[in-house]
Amino acid sequence: MSGIARLELDGKVYELDTFVGTEGERSIDISKLRDTTGYITLDDGYGNTGSCRSAITYIDGDAGILRYRGIPIEELAGRSSFVETAWLVIFGKLPTVEDRDRFASLLGESAMIDEVMRKHFNAFPQTAPPMAILSAMINTLSAHDAGATQIDDDESMERAAAVLISKVRTIAAASYKASIGEPLVYPRYDLKYAENFLHMMFSVPYRNYEPSPEVAAALNLFLMLHADHEQNCSTSTVRMVGSSKANLFASCAAGVCALWGPLHGGANVAAVQMLQDIQESGIPVSEFVNKVKNRDAGVKLMGFGHRVYKNFDPRSRILKKSVDDVLNQLEKSDPLLDIARELEDAALNDDYFVERKLYPNVDFYSGILLRAIGIPMEMFTVMFAIGRMPGWIANWKEINENPKSRIYRPRQIYVGPTDVEWEPREER
């Protein structure tokens, strides 16, 4: 059922078209609102505003559903790989054996960054935030691989996607090595995606790091769960920048910057820091929960809540199980996991959180999983960016392939001073 929406303004009734998506999501098309009524809409934080029609990812926040190109995340988590999921998200269908082999070869061939680019890492202070390096170096790819910015058909799109998805690993690992004063490690052609990243992170000239299958599988799963998530803050940023016809690398570099914020991708760090603070302070979980409820100095339950999910984030459920599996397989334990579980139980049984429909989101357990596989905390948000790269590429591709796409340019309502005269400095 689509139909017409009727709007009464200043004694006149206007008819607006509606649009219903393939999953039954309903919308009022306001593309002609200003021309026909002189009004615009206001929607702080875009909580009620759809910026686009997209065929990449579907989320049902009430039912806790997440699907990439129609395939449920639970299916992919149990049966696919990050590289296969990346191809699915970008190109819209599961890759054939030929597609998979070609893309894997492109990823292997694209893993190295050129020697001039490697030298840039010596210019950053060792204390440089890895997300600052990541956004800078992804943008710098436009200078070092200008060819990859010329995207005009499927072949050049696939190559550019491979360059970005492959090199983001190398740049990330290099930023870590530079921060600990160790030599950068060259990628290996014989290693798979996650294994090659772990090799570049933890190998040293005198000893290669060989990840256990469990650690590699856990990292693969982590990356897959982060591959896309419809119009979240960083993906919308990529679309905003891409809408001006800025190249893929510049657009994804902007996505890295948006993801960095503690309310977004930075939450996986903030969630672990919150758990560490509770552990180190020795306060009972119940006391921390009361601080959150009392809004002491803006204390939030990091890793909880979501603009769209008003039920469980399906990724959080999968990550919670993966943390258990990996810790058992590695015969490790993590006291932060016990605190996280206690915190989750307390919140899920407390009206304050239940009334606000606050559930664990992807960031609540992801940091504990990264700790379990040995990723240092300062790299957590970088890991989120590596995982989200396919989603950013897919959204950039979607907007650039749509002949009807227009540059994103929201309106505003001005609330500043009016009709002000300039005054000579001596009279101010």
The interface mask with ligand SDX, positions 217-256, x = CB under 6 A, is ------------x--x------------------------
HEC sequence for 204-246: ECCECCCCCHHHHHHHHHHHHHCCCCCCCHHHHHHHHHHCCCC
Query: Of the candidates 166, 175, 203, 361, which one interacts with ligand SDX according to CB under 6 A?
Result: 361
DSSP state of 378: G
User: Contact between 185 and ligand SDX (CB under 6 A)?
Assistant: no
Marked catalytic residue, from 306, 313, 338, 351: 306
CB of 310 to ligand SDX, least distance (A): 10
Q: Is 363 a catalytic residue?
A: yes
Instruction: Give dist(CA 229, CA 57) in Å, integer.
Output: 6
Which strands sit side by side in the sheet containing 57-60, from one edge to the other?
57-60, 65-68, 71-72
Nearer Cβ to ligand SDX (211/305): 305
Q: Which is nearer to ligand SDX, 245 or 356 (CB)?
A: 356
In this structure, the dihedral spanned by the alpha carbons of residues 72, 74, 78 and 81, taken in order and rounded to 10 degrees, is 60
393 binds ligand SDX (CB under 6 A): no
C-beta of residue 269 within 8 angstroms of C-beta of residue 381: yes
Query: What spatial distance separates the first Cα and last Cα of the chain, rounded to whole Å?
Result: 61
Selected from 120, 188, 192, 264, the binder of ligand SDX by CB under 6 A is: 264
- CA 65 remoteness from chain centre: 17
User: Under the criterion CB under 6 A, does residue 34 sit at the interface with ligand SDX?
Assistant: no
**153 counts as catalytic:** no
145, 228, 313, 363: the active-site residue: 363
For ligand SDX, the closer CB: 106 or 219: 219
CA distance 198 to 362: 22
Select the residue interacting with ligand SDX from 53, 93, 119, 356 (CB under 6 A).
356
Residue 297 Cβ vs ligand SDX, minimum distance, rounded to whole Å:
13
Query: How many residues interact with ligand SDX (rule CB under 6 A)?
Result: 21
Return d(Cα 284, Cα 292) in angstroms, integer: 13
Could you give the CA distance from residue 19 to residue 270 in angstroms, rounded to a whole number?
A: 39
**Which residues are tagged catalytic?**
306, 363
Q: In the complex, which residues of this chain contact ligand SDX (CB under 6 A)?
A: 45, 229, 232, 263-264, 267, 292, 300-308, 356, 358, 361-363
